[in-house]
Amino acid sequence: MSEVADFKPGLEGVVAVETEIAEPDREGGSLRYRGVDIEELVGKVPYENVWGLLVDDDPTSRMPDPEPYEPVRLTGNAPADLQAETARLAGDWKLGKLNEISDEQAREDLGRLSAQMMTIVARSARVADGHDGSISDEVVAQGATAAEKFLLRWRGEADPRHAKAIDTYWICTAEHGLNASTFTARIVASTGADCGAALSAAVGALSGPLHGGAPAYVLPMLEEVAATGDAARWVEEALESGERIMGFGHRIYRAEDPRSRILKRTAKELGSPHVDVAEALESAALEALQKRHPERVLATNVEYYSAVVLDVAEIPPSLAPAMFACSRVAGWSAHILEQKKTGRLFRPSARYVGPESRALSSLA
């Protein structure tokens, strides 16, 4: 009875799991992975070791290099390719069900899958660019970090500015508690499914504009604002027509999103040509949102300056959700393992509000 009375649309504020992985500090505006502030990680620990910190609680551990594998079919639509190929890997690699394998085996499966998922995105992006052939493993092996290897596999070259932009972005977005995609991964893991099923389901959840897809809308928005030259008017018109301004608002933070702060700094350091218009739009949007919603903080979220940083690395907006998935393989993997160790099958309740019992003939 009590769960029916406690119905919360969108489960806002409902504590569904206990976790030791990440702690978004909603009032103080910081984010810690296993207790370590991400400010300490960016620029010092490469993404693949942040993966190790999140999954193994050990920054000297790392995501492995991908093993040779030929994806079955890449269309160039990266989220769709990633979801399909990740699910298929479970079959090709004969991955065991989480309720039948050891924690060590699950950790190994997650490492193999994470590394391969990055490869799938890089290769899908290459297809989208119109290239048929793939880059040889020897060339890819010349990269020192996962970000460099990703770029080499995609483009055959790794500009250091691009690699820094991607590494910073991946670290900032590697994990963030129980959002929609992570919850999805945990729900699937809670059924005892294999790691490929849990990760591919998470990719689907991440592809919508309200979760991981917002950066895809931010750059076109900045271009529109730059063309009008009047950020305040653009914001007023957008809000008047009932639009949401992409890159603002967050379910958790009631202060500045710390990731936004780091990404903005990085965009400046890397000399992004969009920083000026982004700052103009940001202050116009914050002022207008504050006026319209004085009751809640609608601040800049991670996806706003993510779009600007990804643009430094010449990532097309359409690839943004898949880039987010690449970074989040760390958080998802950590949560799948945590779910396996401590979790229980998810089975919430629904309050029935449909028609009363009636005869089929009454519908005629």
Q: Name the site residues for ligand COA (rule: CB under 6 A).
A: 210, 214, 244-251, 289, 293, 298, 301-303
The pair of three-digit structure tokens given for residue 116, joined into one six-digit string: 């391969």
Q: Is 100 a catalytic residue?
A: no
For residue 209, the 8-state DSSP code is: T
**Closer residue to ligand COA (CB): 196 or 215:** 215
Active-site entry in 85, 175, 303, 338: 303
Q: Is 303 a catalytic residue?
A: yes
The pair of three-digit structure tokens given for residue 193, joined into one six-digit string: 């499914």
**Closer residue to ligand COA (CB): 245 or 330:** 245
Under 8 Å between Cβ of 64 and 344: no
Task: Give exposure, 110-121, as e/b (b: 16+ Cβ within 10 Å).
Answer: bbbbbbbbbbbb
The Cβ of residue 288 has, within 10 Å, a number of other Cβ atoms equal to 19
CA dist 90 and 139 (Å) reads 27
Under 8 Å between Cβ of 275 and 48: no
CA dist 188 and 229 (Å) reads 47
For residue 153, the minimal CB distance to ligand COA (Å) is 27
CA dist 110 and 113 (Å) reads 5
**Closer residue to ligand COA (CB): 154 or 217:** 217
**Closer residue to ligand COA (CB): 266 or 306:** 306
Please give the single-letter amino acid code of residue 359: A
Question: Residue 156, by phi and psi: left (phi above 0), alpha (psi -120 to 50) or beta?
Answer: left
**Closer residue to ligand COA (CB): 11 or 36:** 11
For residue 46, the minimal CB distance to ligand COA (Å) is 24
CA dist 196 and 95 (Å) reads 8
**Closer residue to ligand COA (CB): 52 or 247:** 247
For residue 308, the minimal CB distance to ligand COA (Å) is 14
Active-site entry in 176, 250, 274, 335: 250
Long-range pairs for 133-141 at CB < 8 Å and ≥24 separation?
Answer: 137/68, 141/65
Which residues, 6 or more positions from 107, have their beta carbon under 8 angstroms from its beta carbon? Answer: 55, 56, 337
For residue 315, the minimal CB distance to ligand COA (Å) is 17
Name the residue with the smallest CB distance to ligand COA: 249
By annotation, the residues acting in catalysis are 250, 303
